[in-house]
Amino acid sequence: MDWFWPEGFYTLLMIGSFAFGAFVWNLPISVAMAMSAILGAVAAGEGFPLRHFIEGEFGYINTILVIATAMMYMKVVLKIGLLDSLSAWMIRKFKKFPALLSLGIMFIIMLPGMITGSSTAAVLTTGALVSPVLMTLGMTKIRTAAVVSMGALLGMTAPPVSIPAMIICAGVDIPFVGFAIPLLICTIPLAILYALTMIYPQIRHFSDEEQLEIQLQKMAKQPLTFRLALPVFSLVVLFASDQFLAGVWPGLGMPLIFFLSAMTGFLSGAKWNFVDTLTEALDDALPVLGILMGVGMFIQVMTLIGVQGFIVVSALSLPSWVLYVGIATSMPLFGAVSSFGSASVLGVPFLLALLKFNSVIVASALSLIASLGDLMPPTALAGIFAAQVVGEDNYFKVLKLCLIPGVILALWGIAVILMSGSIAKFLF
């Protein structure tokens, strides 16, 4: 038992108290994480290390700023009607080409998750927007909810904002730089696969264009003009400038890019209230920000008392195939509490155990696998909200239909890890 004591005991104490607080006491995830961090520090004889708590809480300050400004940008896009109009335009454009339409709908579902890093945001915005359209095109409500759920998971993983990847980066002190293409490698093949297997077979024989047009008219409250689309154009231009003009363009950083792009909403011609929009954005962002502060405390204490090292050493002692099976199963299961918690508690040690591979690509793949936590009961945020959006009372029916796509997602994540060396040679 020498290998287990005391770090193994601290590991069980912290993870166990966190799960107990979240599941049994129904505490907010942020509070449960802070509580387990305090218990771990006290049990290890560190008392109440205030300095480490504060350092941990503010370790994710850049991620917090990104999420807050991204959420504000998303609210502006919604307020001016751009998201609705853009979605209606895309569906009208490709309705004669069901394969392309399937891909376009999947991208629409993913978009809010890509901007905010939240699967819930994707489900409750574009997921709710396209669900009536998908059902009009001939899809059942259960399949529609499953498509929305899987698209939302891919959206929260895809660039530019991938909160699980950001959490893992902050946990090992590597900058969130160079992640765009690896995250796209993780998500785009799955998006294409899901679109062509879950959507296309259901809509390819659709012919009732009159009913479809009724749904599209409900969506498009504003005509799609260049002025209305200014927030999207500005976001693309500013991101591209940061990526490709580094030598001549001052690096603005993601928070400022999102803020400036949101401000172009004033030039869109649509009326919206800045204060109300900012308030709504902060209200939506606060739960996530709280989780990140709790995550920071948790990781800081894990490192302080040796829990993180214990998990890494234990993972390294396992045969390779056991380690990969453990990653593919433990991260989604732990994500039942919080996919962000899974990324921090397990993603960080797993990345450290896989340092023989390219860290950027491995972190991207781990963030993809962690996203499955949003389909794990009892929380199952993506599945529950998707079921509500389509009017299905039993969300387990949705989760059942997501089982095979979820297994494929986990296997693809492991495959990306195993291929990371080859991918890195190609990219870097």
Q: What is the mean pLDDT of residues 399-426?
A: 94
Q: Which residue has the higher pLDDT, 35 or 210?
A: 35
Q: Quick check: 347 and 171 in contact, CB under 8 A? A: yes
Residue whose C-alpha is closest to residue 21's, from 374, 385, 298, 299: 298
Residue 357 lies in a domain: yes
Enter the pTM of the model. Answer: 0.87
pLDDT score recorded for residue 196: 95
Residue 103 lies in a domain: yes
Q: What is the mean pLDDT of residues 376-402?
A: 89
Residue whose C-alpha is closest to residue 11's, from 257, 312, 213: 312
| Three-point CA angle 279, 284, 290, nearest 5° | 110
Residue 1 lies in a domain: no
Residue 288 lies in a domain: yes
pLDDT score recorded for residue 3: 67
How many domains is the chain partitioned into structurally? Answer: 1
pLDDT of residue 191 exceeding 90, the answer is yes
Residue whose C-alpha is closest to residue 125's, from 75, 73, 159, 86: 75
- What is the overall mean pLDDT for the chain? 87
Boundaries of domain holding 296: 7-427
Q: Which residue has the higher pLDDT, 141 or 247?
A: 141
Q: How confident is the model at residue 165 (pLDDT cuts 50, 70, 90)?
A: very high
Residue 2 lies in a domain: no
Q: How confident is the model at residue 81 (pLDDT cuts 50, 70, 90)?
A: confident
As given in the structure block, the two tokens for residue 238 are 């500013």
pLDDT of residue 30 exceeding 70, the answer is yes
What confidence tens digit (pLDDT) does each residue in 215-248 have? 788 777 778 888 888 998 998 888 888 777 666 7
**Helix (H), strand (E) counts: the chain:** 25, 0
pLDDT of residue 407 exceeding 90, the answer is yes
Residue 22 lies in a domain: yes
What confidence tens digit (pLDDT) does each residue in 319-373 have? 888 899 999 999 998 877 778 878 888 888 899 888 889 999 999 999 999 999 9
Residue 228 lies in a domain: yes
What is the Cα 403 distance to its own chain's centre? 19
